[in-house]
Amino acid sequence: MIQDPAQAWVVRYAAIQAGSTVLDACAAPGGKTVALARTARLVVAADKRRNRIPRLRQNLKRAGGGTVVLLVADGEAAAVSQVDCVLIDAPCSGTGTFARHPDARHRLKAGDIDRLAASQAAILEGTYPAVRPGGLLVYSTCSLEPEENEHLVDRFLASHTDFKREPPDGIPDDMLSPVGDLVILPQRHSMDGAYAARLRRDAG
């Protein structure tokens, strides 16, 4: 699948251990699902929009490998439980892609960022219980807006003290924020903008 390099960096940043069970909670159209399935034992690829499942299935058939189960499920409720990793590639404003899609900026309206941030927070709240003790929660967007990214993650961590940031090794320093989140900027890295936070749940 042809994707902007930023999407591959998000998967690399997630650093999913080989043999893991993974919930890709907002999976369609499936680019990250394809990448995750190369090393995971099982990927549950979920999306709440039933009309996007055929495209997801087609992309997996054409470009995928590994074991993937497709599921129609709302990201605001955990579709499975006790998985090694949950990836939430949240629906967002897409401001990181504006250089490549300049027309998209005209579709963004006042209030959209706050509305999207509320939806993203609801997905985080609904899906994090699927992470087993000691497992990973990876949250990502293709947005540059702090309301959709680090501010949201900071609030989540403040109310869920059993999760801590755990950035992986091997990521260039200029792609990491001071707290270790992945921050890709188009003007600096010559690719789409992207954000990701990698959170480890206490083993209990």
Active site residues: 142
Strands (E), the chain: 21-24, 42-47, 68-72, 83-89, 131-141, 163-165, 182-184, 194-201
Name the DSSP letter for residue 94: -
* CA angle in degrees (0–180, nearest 5) for 163-197-14: 100
